[in-house]
């Protein structure tokens, strides 16, 4: 009996990244939240996450089931279209580009790596900056995929309202 292991070497070992146009097509088939990795080609921590966090089997499995994942070079110079908007390089004469898509998502706070979560209507839920090991990133992915962030936000709002009511004259 012979066992072939050649098919195992073809298994994906990392996140299945897609382009913005592929994302838009996928969303017409099935709605999911979106995870966007904003990186640059010179970012050492971005490369480290690609080699470690984004190849961790637990992270890859969870993110693949619960998000569409987009890898976007924040310094790309070409114009991209997403959600019927055109995004271009806002600094065409500088040494490094700054694509308006990344600039908009990060509200001008250009830091790499940065990750943006969008809901199924492309509304920004959260921005996370900096290198993340698998465990903290997985916790964040779960928090947003399960909509726990909405319950937390509502709890904070309710506590704030109670505090305001307690200080109001009766």
- Residue 94 has a pLDDT of 84
Task: Tell whether 45 is covered by a domain.
Answer: yes
How many structural domains are present in the chain? 1
Per-residue pLDDT reduced to its tens digit, 96-139: 989 999 999 999 999 999 999 999 999 999 999 999 999 999 99
pLDDT of residue 6: 37
The boundaries of the domain holding residue 124 are 13-167
| Per-residue confidence (pLDDT) for residue 12, from 0 to 100 | 52
Write out the two tokens for 112: 């790499």
For residue 18, what pLDDT band results from cuts at 50, 70 and 90?
very high
| CA distance linking residue 18 with residue 29, whole number of Å | 15
pLDDT score for 58? 96
Q: Pick from 43, 16, 19, 15: which is nearest to 131 by CA?
A: 43
Angstrom CA distances, 158 to 31, 80, 126, 143, stand at 30, 40, 20, 19
| Within a domain: 3 | no
* pLDDT value for 93: 83
Residues 43-90 have pLDDT tens digits of: 999 999 999 999 999 999 999 999 999 999 999 999 999 999 999 988
CA of residue 161 relative to chain centroid, distance = 31
Residue 3 has what pLDDT?
Answer: 40
Domain assignment present for residue 125? The answer is yes
Report, as an integer, the average pLDDT of 2-11.
38
CATH number at residue 149: 3.40.30.10
Q: Are strands 124-129 and 114-118 parallel, antiparallel or unpaired?
A: antiparallel
Dig out the tokens for 169 from the structure.
């004259």
Residue 33 located in a structural domain = yes
pLDDT above 60 (res 2): no
Examine residue 148 and state whether it is found in any structural domain, yes or no: yes
Q: What are phi and psi of 164, to 5 degrees?
A: -65, -45
Q: How confident is the model at residue 151 (pLDDT cuts 50, 70, 90)?
A: confident
pLDDT tier, 9 (very low <50, low <70, confident <90, very high otherwise): very low
- Residues 6+ positions from 152 with CB-CB distance below 8 Å: none
- Output DSSP code: residue 107: T
138 part of a folded domain? yes
Question: Residue 91: inside a domain, yes or no?
Answer: yes
The answer to whether residue 7 sits within a structural domain is: no
Structure confidence at residue 86 (pLDDT): 94
């Amino acid at each position: 009996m012979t066992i072939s292991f050649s098919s195992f070497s073809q298994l994906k070992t990392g996140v299945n990244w897609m382009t913005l146009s592929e994302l838009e097509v996928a969303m017409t088939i099935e709605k999911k939240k979106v995870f966007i990795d904003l990186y640059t080609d010179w970012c050492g921590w971005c490369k480290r996450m690609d080699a470690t966090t984004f190849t961790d089997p637990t992270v890859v499995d969870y993110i693949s089931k619960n998000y569409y994942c987009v890898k976007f070079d924040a310094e790309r110079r070409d114009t991209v279209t997403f959600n019927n908007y055109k995004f271009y390089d806002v600094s065409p004469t500088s040494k490094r580009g700054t694509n308006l898509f990344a600039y908009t998502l990060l509200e001008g706070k250009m830091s790499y790596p940065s990750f943006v979560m969008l809901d199924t209507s492309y509304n920004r839920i959260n921005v996370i900056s900096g290198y993340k090991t698998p465990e903290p990133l997985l916790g964040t992915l779960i928090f947003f995929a399960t909509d726990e962030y909405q319950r937390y936000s509502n709890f904070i709002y309710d506590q704030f309202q109670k505090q305001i009511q307690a200080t109001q004259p009766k």
